[in-house]
Chains A and B, each alone.
Chain A
Amino acid sequence: METQGFKKIYTKITQITKATCSLQASGIGYEEMATVNGRLAQVVKLQGDNVTLQIFSGTEGIPTNAEVVFLGRPPVLKVSDELAGRFFNAYGEPIDGGPEVEGEVREIGGPSVNPVRRKQPSELIATGIAGIDLNNTLVTGQKIPFFADPDQPYNQVMAMVALRAKADKIILGGMGLTNDDYLYYKNVFDNAGALDRIISFVNTTENPPVERLLVPDMALTAAEYFAFDKKETVLVLLTDMTLYADALSIVSNRMDQIPSKDSMPGSLYSDLAKIYEKAVQFPEGGSITIIAVTTLSSGDITHAIPDNTGYITEGQLFLRRDSDIGKVIVDPFRSLSRLKQLVIGKQTRKDHPQVMNAAVRLYADAANAKTKLENGFDLTDYDVRTMSFAREYSNDLLAIDVNIDTTAMLDTAWDLFGKHFTKAEVGIKQEFVDSYWPE
């Protein structure tokens, strides 16, 4: 695979564990790549002449006399416009039968953008989904995950958002993706005629889990090339980051590190932040927006993976099945877009922030009324009205199958206010009530 002039070759491994092997070698750089009997590996520890290598595809069948070749460089990706429309594995090797990509060799997992060289994100991304555009508006340069149980249709929603987002490039980083889901993405993008805008780095369930660790960095190195060098609008989709974190914990457990909460490595926050913080708006115009998926185990957001993610990302979109209307909705309580205030009421109609908050508050009242009902109490007239409001709000606005523009969303909300409540109950600033309260 590599055709470099100078390579160091060793054949005496002194220690083998499930994920690593060690040997005596000198002049080796930290995080340098190597091959062990042809399998890719990376230096994770140097102690005197003792070098520990993490073998991405595992150590099964590795003999003590395996041929270890050091490549003299960290993991890299060749970047150029030829990446567009191509499908790669976690190592950046083509899996679509096409030729090798020629281009500039870049280290993956490179340095961070100087914070003073960033621009404040300001471009709204319209998705047509009111649960997103009305309550949790997205902005270019944002990083935000879907929090969803494994049975939610997050891959479908993400593909829909990606296609509506008007990005110059869509980069898919698939980690532990089932082959079916991988083909689903390929099909959707193909049918939309978007294949030439797509670049994929995919590790499927058929590949060794530790290889996933390379996927986000590969995807983001390609993203930086298009966003920074080419000043394009780039959307990066990372699915499923929970499986990425699981791979991190496999490696750290095998290296005998002390686990912290939920058997995750103590560095989980920093590890995830390094990925998500690649989201950026450059002043020169290019941007990287990251939409990710973090699957939950039965809705538990206190688990270390969603918890650390929530502390890093600029909000989260929480998908939930609403049994009252039999549809999947973007839950207004658990969801949040932290960048929404940069655009709502500015690039959207002025009443947007107040309408959004009032509707969610009334929806919360409905939840309380529902609890009352479940506990066997009589409902007041107001309770009954909030509950019928909630059903319509959920169906007409929160459901993921809604596809309208933001002004229509706001008008719908005002119609629902007028139908179910008095002006005082809605409690919005007088100037907006004067302009938008329906007759």
Chain B
Amino acid sequence: MEENKLTTGKVSGIIANLVIVEVNGPVSQNEICFINLAGVRLMAEVIKVLGNKAYTQVFESTRGLKVGEPVEFMGHMLEVTLGPGILSKNFDGLQNDLDTMVGTFLKRGEYTAAIDVDKAWDFTPVAKAGDVVVAGDWLGEVKENWIGHKIMVPFKFEGKYTVKSVKPAGTYKASETIAVVTNADGSEINISMIQKWPVKVPIRAYTDKPRPYRLMETGVRIIDTMNPIVEGGTGFIPGPFGSGKTVLQHALSKQAEADLIIVAACGERANEVVEIFTEFPELDDPRTGRKLMERTTIIANTSNMPVAAREASVYTAMTIGEYYRSMGLKVLLLADSTSRWAQALREMSNRMEELPGPDAFPMDLPAIISSFYARAGYVFLNNGSTGSITFIGTVSPAGGNLKEPVTESTKKAARCFFALSQQRADSKRYPAVDPIDSYSKYLEYPELQEYLAANIAPDWLANVLEAKNILLRGKEAYEQINILGDDGVPIDYHLRYWKSEVIDFVILQQDAFDKIDCSAPIVRQKEMLEKVLGVCRADFDFDNFEDVNPWFKRVINVFKQMNYSLYQSEDYKKYETELVEVINERKVA
């Protein structure tokens, strides 16, 4: 792996954060190097090699850098450090611990350790002497917050090893040897709690990656009920600015039924990260009763941080996700926004004067995006247990136009499409997920259909499809009313439109900032869908279209009061009774 004699070089050209280095030995694509700037070492990554010139993208500002400065190559790609102590941390895109940095302003060349190697952990062995193990197999376990953090055979180990010894239960530092294994030649190798892995290479320590099938509850009705995501599934949220991408992702990070959450703030606002680490330590995780921050890790590479590290940040996040998945955990990975990562690629590609693809993005953008999404998934580990990474990214299409390269490439890679609509956001119909254009491919999976029938209700899927159909017919009716006028259409058109509005207001719309409405458990979603469909299926008696609107507004209003009330509380039941009364006023028996 590591070479003894490392290549060195000299800076020969500088254009913003693209630095060309003349090298005196072998270099590899994506190799990491350090460039000297008056004693400060700037980290960079090789992104192209031409003869003896290595083109590197520097993860820092290059201001003041001079031609001729020495460069040292490290012989490895960009790596993350994996071990206990990652949870609840705030990292930058290169996995530097932001909290241990000195001072208010970021200093270039200041790299801090991702993990405190001297921290002691309570260790329990899982493997025993004589076991034959491969990369990713569990040797022991420590408690990290409330998670059973598995200490594994390092992913870099190739082939089979025999466990010689494992430390007995006790307290050990992360850097101490906790197991000794022997390889085929009989040589002994010490294993600690810490290992490293290159971020751009997927971790493949699993035996099988079947199609995912288990619903991942998020508490967001328009997702769970209408366009469900599954454990190990992929989805994306495209939408113009201000349409609610970040609010929706934050809701998922608070409410989703996952063991841990990794949030990659990729080229977006610093204040949005501040919001997470200000609020999460105070918010309860309803499932565990612990604080939300205990299950959350933030990778923050905000828009004002160096552009090259923005690209690295999503890979850093994914690799950490894969590490925890290998422990048999359910990981939810959120990236806001993957467009910024694509733009970082574009900036570099332009500086290198490569032939541009559509909208000046690099030609291989679709391939880069699809191989990234392919790293998510539901897996069977070597020991038969399962783990998953569910990945949901946001996309920020230029001008809100979904016919642009990042959206189109992502649409091919992700299986759920939560399209946010400007029009819905403008009329404050939040979350502004377009009910007609959005989809979840998983709803077509027989595996999920069976799961829904067994776990929610046998007729659940039929109800969901019926609701979708009512929405579509309501939209058509609305268009007809707009063309022909209120009195130019039969009353039935008004009823059809208003029934779809009931679904819209009661199921689709949800106030992310209301303590109760923000999250609805699936039993509550089931009850609401059934009640709403009850209204949609009924016949109502109206002579005049002018009476339709006010009556449905009353129905919607009572439903909304129910959404704002604690489930099954006295208030809730009061509105439930009121609802029946209002409905009976017009219902044809």
**Is this pair of chains taken from one and the same complex?**
yes
Q: CB within 8 Å of B: which residues of A?
A: 26-32, 44-49, 74, 107, 109-121, 141, 228, 257-261, 266-267, 269-270, 273-274, 277-278, 280, 282, 302-304, 307, 310-312, 314-316, 333-334, 336, 338-339, 341, 353, 357, 360-361, 364, 371-372, 375, 377-378, 380-382, 422-425, 427, 429-430
Stretch from B205-213, B363-371, B457-465, B548-556 contacting the other chain = B548-556
Closest to A120 in B: B278
**Does chain A have a CB within 8 A of B487?**
yes
**Does chain A have a CB within 8 A of B14?**
yes
- Out of A27, A29, A119, A257, name the residue touching B350 (CB < 8 Å): A257
Closest to A142 in B: B271
Number of chain B residues close to chain A: CB under 8 A: 76
Q: Which residues of B contact A113 (CB under 8 A)?
A: 104-106, 270
A398 to chain B, nearest CB (A): 15
Contact between B61 and A111 (Cβ–Cβ < 8 Å)? Answer: yes
B515 to chain A, nearest CB (A): 12
- Out of A112, A274, A311, A314, name the residue touching B105 (CB < 8 Å): A112
With A115-B300, A314-B271: A47-B427 Cβ-Cβ less than 8 Å: no
B360 to chain A, nearest CB (A): 4
Contact between A121 and B271 (Cβ–Cβ < 8 Å)? Answer: yes
**Does chain A have a CB within 8 A of B303?**
yes
Most A-side CB within 10 Å, residue of B68, B107, B350, B400: B350
With A29-B63, A114-B101, A120-B274: A315-B485 Cβ-Cβ less than 8 Å: no
Q: Which residues of B contact A110 (CB under 8 A)?
A: 105
Q: Which residues of A contact B305 (CB under 8 A)?
A: 112
Stretch from B163-171, B285-293, B557-565 contacting the other chain = B557-565
B56 to chain A, nearest CB (A): 14
Contact between B271 and A260 (Cβ–Cβ < 8 Å)? Answer: no
Closest to B552 in A: A424
With A48-B13, A112-B304: A310-B359 Cβ-Cβ less than 8 Å: no
Binary flags per residue of B343-370, CB closer than 8 Å to A gives 1, else 0: 1001100100100100110000000000
Closest to B430 in A: A357
Q: Which residues of B contact A258 (CB under 8 A)?
A: 350, 353, 356, 360
Contact between A333 and B65 (Cβ–Cβ < 8 Å)? Answer: no
Assembly CA distance A257 to B352 (angstroms): 10
Contact between B65 and A270 (Cβ–Cβ < 8 Å)? Answer: no
B96 to chain A, nearest CB (A): 10
Contact between A260 and B12 (Cβ–Cβ < 8 Å)? Answer: no
Contact between B241 and A311 (Cβ–Cβ < 8 Å)? Answer: yes
With A228-B104, A427-B553: A339-B303 Cβ-Cβ less than 8 Å: no
Contact between B396 and A302 (Cβ–Cβ < 8 Å)? Answer: no
Assembly CA distance A423 to B557 (angstroms): 9
With A311-B396, A424-B553: A429-B564 Cβ-Cβ less than 8 Å: yes
Assembly CA distance A200 to B340 (angstroms): 33
Contact between B303 and A267 (Cβ–Cβ < 8 Å)? Answer: no
Contact between A117 and B242 (Cβ–Cβ < 8 Å)? Answer: no
B58 to chain A, nearest CB (A): 10
Binary flags per residue of B262-305, CB closer than 8 Å to A gives 1, else 0: 00000101110111011000000000000000000000101111
Assembly CA distance A312 to B396 (angstroms): 11
Most B-side CB within 10 Å, residue of A119, A141, A269, A304: A269
A-B contact count (CB 8 A): 204
**Does chain A have a CB within 8 A of B452?**
no
Assembly CA distance A29 to B399 (angstroms): 38
Assembly CA distance A334 to B422 (angstroms): 10
> Would you mind naming 28 contact pairs between A and B with Cβ atoms under 8 Å apart?
A26-B67, A29-B64, A31-B64, A46-B67, A49-B67, A112-B105, A112-B302, A114-B103, A115-B270, A115-B302, A116-B90, A117-B103, A118-B274, A119-B278, A120-B274, A259-B360, A267-B350, A270-B343, A273-B267, A277-B302, A302-B401, A310-B240, A310-B241, A311-B396, A333-B427, A353-B513, A425-B553, A427-B560
Assembly CA distance A225 to B65 (angstroms): 26
Q: Which residues of A contact B303 (CB under 8 A)?
A: 269-270, 273-274, 277, 312
Closest to B20 in A: A47
Q: Which residues of A contact B482 (CB under 8 A)?
A: 371-372, 375
Assembly CA distance A312 to B267 (angstroms): 9
Binary flags per residue of B397-423, CB closer than 8 Å to A gives 1, else 0: 011110000000000000000000000
- Out of B300, B359, B560, name the residue touching A260 (CB < 8 Å): B359
- Out of B14, B15, B271, name the residue touching A141 (CB < 8 Å): B271
Assembly CA distance A124 to B146 (angstroms): 38
Q: Which residues of A contact B269 (CB under 8 A)?
A: 277, 312, 314
Contact between B63 and A339 (Cβ–Cβ < 8 Å)? Answer: no
Q: Which residues of A contact B275 (CB under 8 A)?
A: 120
Closest to B571 in A: A430
Assembly CA distance A375 to B486 (angstroms): 12
Q: CB within 8 Å of A: which residues of B?
A: 12-16, 20, 61-68, 90, 98-99, 101, 103-108, 240-242, 267, 269-271, 273-275, 277-278, 300, 302-305, 307, 340, 343, 346-347, 350, 353, 356, 359-360, 396, 398-401, 426-428, 482, 485-488, 513, 545-546, 549-550, 553-554, 556-557, 560-561, 564
Contact between A307 and B106 (Cβ–Cβ < 8 Å)? Answer: no
Most B-side CB within 10 Å, residue of A111, A371, A377: A111
Q: Which residues of B contact A303 (CB under 8 A)?
A: 399
B346 to chain A, nearest CB (A): 5
- Out of A48, A120, A260, A361, name the residue touching B360 (CB < 8 Å): A260
Assembly CA distance A259 to B561 (angstroms): 52
Q: Which residues of B contact A44 (CB under 8 A)?
A: 15
Contact between B98 and A261 (Cβ–Cβ < 8 Å)? Answer: no
Q: Which residues of B contact A371 (CB under 8 A)?
A: 482
- Out of B271, B400, B426, name the residue touching A118 (CB < 8 Å): B271
- Out of B15, B267, B343, B426, name the residue touching A334 (CB < 8 Å): B426
Assembly CA distance A31 to B488 (angstroms): 69
B100 to chain A, nearest CB (A): 10
B107 to chain A, nearest CB (A): 7
Q: Which residues of B contact A46 (CB under 8 A)?
A: 13-15, 66-67
Assembly CA distance A372 to B554 (angstroms): 23
Q: Which residues of B contact A26 (CB under 8 A)?
A: 67-68
With A45-B15, A258-B350: A111-B105 Cβ-Cβ less than 8 Å: yes
Q: Which residues of B contact A315 (CB under 8 A)?
A: 242
Contact between B98 and A364 (Cβ–Cβ < 8 Å)? Answer: no
Q: Which residues of B contact A380 (CB under 8 A)?
A: 486, 545-546, 549
A25 to chain B, nearest CB (A): 10
Assembly CA distance A108 to B350 (angstroms): 26
Q: Which residues of B contact A273 (CB under 8 A)?
A: 267, 303-304
Q: Which residues of B contact A31 (CB under 8 A)?
A: 62-64
Q: Which residues of B contact A269 (CB under 8 A)?
A: 267, 303, 340, 343
Contact between B398 and A45 (Cβ–Cβ < 8 Å)? Answer: no
Q: Which residues of B contact A378 (CB under 8 A)?
A: 485-487
Contact between B270 and A111 (Cβ–Cβ < 8 Å)? Answer: no
A99 to chain B, nearest CB (A): 30
- Out of A48, A302, A361, A422, name the residue touching B550 (CB < 8 Å): A422
Q: Which residues of B contact A424 (CB under 8 A)?
A: 550, 553-554, 557
Q: Which residues of A contact B353 (CB under 8 A)?
A: 258
Q: Which residues of A contact B300 (CB under 8 A)?
A: 115-116
Contact between A429 and B557 (Cβ–Cβ < 8 Å)? Answer: no
Assembly CA distance A303 to B401 (angstroms): 11
Assembly CA distance A315 to B65 (angstroms): 37
Assembly CA distance A15 to B381 (angstroms): 62
Contact between A336 and B242 (Cβ–Cβ < 8 Å)? Answer: yes
7 closest pairs, A vs B, by CB? A273-B303, A302-B399, A277-B304, A310-B241, A377-B485, A29-B64, A46-B14
Contact between B64 and A30 (Cβ–Cβ < 8 Å)? Answer: yes
Further contacts, 20 of them, CB under 8 A, given A47-B20, A257-B350: A30-B62, A46-B14, A46-B15, A74-B63, A114-B106, A117-B105, A118-B271, A120-B278, A259-B360, A266-B350, A269-B267, A274-B303, A302-B401, A307-B241, A310-B242, A311-B241, A378-B486, A380-B549, A427-B560, A429-B561
